[in-house]
A and B are shown apart, each in its own frame.
Chain A
Amino acid sequence: MQIELTDKQADELLGQLVAGELPDARGRFGPFGGCYAPETLMPALARLAAGVDEHLHAPAFQAELGAELQDWVGRPTALTHARGLSQRWGADVWLKREDLAHTGAHKINNALGQALLARRLGAGRVIAETGAGQHGVATAAACARAGMPCIVYMGAVDVERQRPNVDRMLQLGAEVAPVTSGDATLRAAIDEAFRDWVADPEGSYYLLGSAVGPHPYPYLVRELQAVIGREARAQMQELAGGPADAAFACVGGGSNAIGLFHPLLGDRDTQLIGVEAGGCGAGLGENSATLVTGTPGILHGSLSLLLQDVNGQVQETHSVSAGLDYAGVGPEHALLKTIGRVTYESATDADALAALRECCEAEGILPALETAHAFADARRWAHDNPGKRILIGLSGRGDKDMPTLSKLMHAGEAPGRAA
């Protein structure tokens, strides 16, 4: 089944998005979103929604958050002119450097904001899930800064492939709980984090790491990540001489992409392109390209697009990058795809690895494997559209991927040298 909208409905919904009217009071982004949560969590979600309404845009909270973003996270992050890639691609390429934010990825924007919110709401402990480990590290750091204990659920498969991040979380004082149930990746970690919260909804704060989940999370996470797009928009004007012709971001759950895209939605001359993990093939289970190939469904609290079989069973996914390895996606992306404001593409594991290598060579920047998917598709687009101004959301640094990259290097696919 598909959800289709008329052109008029699509225009109206885009207008509402740009005007900041979505999600609506019911947590809906048009037909998507909502709050499909167990009854146990409904009072906690209602308290959270009320807390978000009360604090998120209040001057006191914004002042506290703004100061911490500047002095502790290191914002604003740089906009870097990618001279080497510009030359190679025949384009004018700019990089929004979330890899330079504290802990090495955009995840800190959300983790810090929610940790401060959790403290304001009087929670005694923080629960989080993590895929690539970046959200776990960011949460561990933010909770240490805010003086709150935290437990991070992480799929056992991800624990294995992201060992450096596990050790960082432990160093930062977090408890890390490996999850062996289900597919033992991000999806199972979210299931387990929800279970923890279901068992202790009053004393705990669930610090969700992406723009997914029941209302108000997709809204809360977007608002905290939109700092990326706001800064980038102003920096493009100031440094690049005008808005981008196209902006690229990788999409797993979709938080860095929505953070970059949301403030640009009203700039109709800027094409927005989200890049998912094409994994090792187009078959079900071989990739994580939810927006490209998924169908409407309900997972983890919201109605969005989903990789599922004919019976509504959620499918296992594959990607070389743990952070994109997720069968669902945030509901705002589902809407943006349905109304056609954002185009969603996919890049394969091999494309991403080649793009990572090229970025290292040309720019002296090791991007995260997740981020490399955005580079791969930007390169393809630049080839088809020569001479354009391109903005890429460089969502995180690739240090955490060294175990994976080392394995590939020693298997003969040396990322250090172009073939």
Chain B
Amino acid sequence: MNELPHARISAAIEAANQARRVGLVPFITAGYPQKDRFIDTLDALSAVAEVIEIGVPFSDPMADGVTIQRSSHAAIEAGVSLHWIIDQLTAARRAGKTFAPLILMSYLNPLFIYGFRQLAQDAADAGVCGFIVPDLPLEEGAEFRDALAHAGLGQVQLITPTTTDERMAELCQASKGFVYAVTVTGITGGGTVIPPEVTGYLDRVSAVAEIPVCAGFGIREAAQVESIGRHADGVIVGSALVEHLEAGHDPAAFLQGLRPA
């Protein structure tokens, strides 16, 4: 049990694959739609999910669609911050709770203001395994990656259909936990149709990556999960899940419904 936190992410997805299941990676905006349900929601999702992605709200979520923009602004209004998230997770851990491996998804500025070294330590203490930072490209990320590495955490790198082969190799090499393959060029929550060239693209990423590949952006139906699951090790479900939470539905039931029968 001495494995590094970021290795827990890979191990969880690999275990699902060995059981012939696609890894499910739900995304929620922390403390949304109800701040006091944050830990309960993580609990419920942990029963179904391999890994959970927790969105840190930011005032200018420029790579996100309307759903995540809405949830981010509402969470900020409700007083959700990176410090609050870390405090909640730390308290839950001290109370003996365990969750599926957790990843924080945040734009760079809140991390920068927190301080990279301090954040890596506090996040590790809170049971966080890794980070996704959509506006931190490989070229600018050395300092953050170093800080994470000291605490055994990793940064999940994103690959998009516009990424060149050369760049893809570098990104796969640098990525920890899994490789996040964006399946629709563009912002999250854009539509339900999976372009036919996507499967070829996912196969291309999988051929290069030595850790699991998870596909994300715009996934909302079991049929999509099934077809993408043939070409990726896991799928990320974001906007659709947030919409279900907004409607007051049970997030775990929705997630379970996405698993191919």
Task: Give 1 or 0 for each of A1-41: 1 = CB within 8 Å of chain B CB.
Answer: 10000000000000000000000001000000011111110
The yes or no answer to B140 lying at the interface (CB within 8 A) is yes
Q: Mark B137-161, 1 if CB is under 8 A from A, else 0.
A: 1011000000000000000011110
Q: What is the bound-complex CA distance between A310 and B112, given in angstroms?
A: 11
Residues 57-73 of chain B: 1 if any A CB is under 8 Å from the residue's CB, otherwise 0?
Answer: 01111110110010001
A201 in contact (CB, < 8 A) = yes
Distance in angstroms between the alpha carbons of A313 and B61 in the assembled complex: 11
Taking CB atoms, residues of chain A closer than 8 Å to B167 are: 42-43
B123 to chain A, nearest CB (A): 15
Decide yes or no whether A181 CB sits under 8 A from chain B.
yes
Is B109's CB within 8 Å of the partner chain A? yes
Least distance between B151 CB and chain A CB atoms (Å)? 20
Given A181-B69, A313-B59, A313-B110: A301 and B81 interface contact (C-beta under 8 Å)? no
A40-B162, A195-B187 known; A310+B62 contact, CB < 8 A: no
Q: How close is A121's CB to chain B, nearest CB, in angstroms?
A: 16
Minimum distance in angstroms from A275 CB to a CB of chain B: 25
CB–CB A36/B187 < 8 A: no
Contact of A199 among B113, B139, B187 (CB under 8 A): B187
Contact with B along A287-321 (1 / 0, CB 8 A): 00000000011111100001010111111000000
Q: How many Å lie between the Cα of A182 and that of B59 in the bound state? A: 8
Please name all residues of chain B whose beta carbon is closer than 8 Å to the beta carbon of A311 when the two chains form the complex: 81-83, 110, 113
Whether the Cβ atoms of A35 and B139 lie closer than 8 Å is yes
The minimal Cβ–Cβ distance linking A177 to chain B, given in whole angstroms, is 14
Q: Are A198 and B187 in contact (CB under 8 A)?
A: yes
**Is B162 a contact of A43 with CB atoms below 8 Å?**
yes
A314-B59 contact, Cβ under 8 Å, with A201-B162, A298-B109: yes
* B110 and A199 contacting across the interface, CB-CB below 8 Å: no
A248: chain B residues at CB < 8 Å are none
Q: Within 8 Å of chain A (Cβ to Cβ): is B135? A: yes
Chain A nearest CB, measured from B184 CB (Å): 9
From residue 262 to 301 of chain A, which have CB atoms closer than 8 A to chain B? Answer: 296-301
Chain A minimum-CB-distance residue to B79: A311
On whether the beta carbons of A298 and B76 are closer than 8 Å, the reply is: no
Interface string of A38-74 (1 = CB under 8 A from B): 1110111000000000000000000000000000000
* A298–B63 CA distance with the chains assembled, in angstroms: 15
A181 near B109: Cβ-Cβ < 8 Å: no
With A39-B160, A43-B164, A181-B69: A300-B62 Cβ-Cβ less than 8 Å: yes
Q: Are B137 and A36 in contact (CB under 8 A)?
A: yes
How many chain B residues sit at the interface, stated as a range, is: 35 or more
Q: How far is the CA of A39 from the CA of B133 in the complex (A)?
A: 10
Contact B60 A191 (CB under 8 A): yes
Q: Say yes or no: is A160 at the interface (Cβ < 8 Å to chain B).
A: no
- In angstroms, Cα B157 to Cα A200, docked, is 21
Chain B residues with CB below 8 A from A38, complex form: 62-63, 134-135, 137, 158
Judge if B163 is at the interface, Cβ distance under 8 Å: yes
Give the chain A neighbours of B111 by CB distance below 8 A. 312
Q: Does A167 contact B (CB under 8 A)?
A: no
Cross-chain contact B162 with A298 (CB below 8 angstroms):
no
In the complex where A201-B185, A298-B108 touch, is A37 in contact with B135 (Cβ < 8 A)?
yes
B135 touches A202 (CB 8 A): no
CB distance from B168 to the nearest CB of A (A): 10
With A297-B109, A298-B135, A312-B112 already in contact, the answer to whether A39 and B185 are too (CB < 8 A) is no
Q: Digit string of A161-181 for contact with B (CB within 8 Å is 1, else 0)?
A: 000000000000000000001
Q: Is the CB of A42 within 8 A of B137?
A: yes
Q: Is the CB of B185 within 8 A of A182?
A: no
In the complex, whether B136 has a CB less than 8 A from a CB of chain A is: yes
Cβ of A222 within 8 Å of any chain B Cβ, yes or no, is no
Q: Does B257 contact A (CB under 8 A)?
A: no
Nearest chain A CB to B56's CB is how many angstroms away?
9
B62→A297 contact, CB < 8 A: no
| A300→B186 contact, CB < 8 A | no
> Least Cβ distance of B136 to chain A in Å?
6
Closest approach, in angstroms, between the C-beta of B102 and any C-beta of chain A?
20
Q: What are 5 A-B pairs with beta-carbon distances under 8 A?
A: A1-B115, A36-B140, A40-B160, A201-B185, A300-B62
Binding site for A on B (CB under 8 A): 58-63, 65-66, 69, 73, 76, 81-83, 108-115, 134-137, 139-140, 157-160, 162-164, 167, 171, 182, 185-187, 190
A binding-site residues for B, Cβ under 8 Å: 1, 26, 34-40, 42-44, 181-182, 187, 190-191, 194-195, 198-202, 296-301, 306, 308, 310-315
List the 7 shortest-distance A-B pairs measured between CB atoms, nearest first. Answer: A312-B113, A199-B186, A312-B110, A311-B81, A312-B109, A314-B59, A313-B59
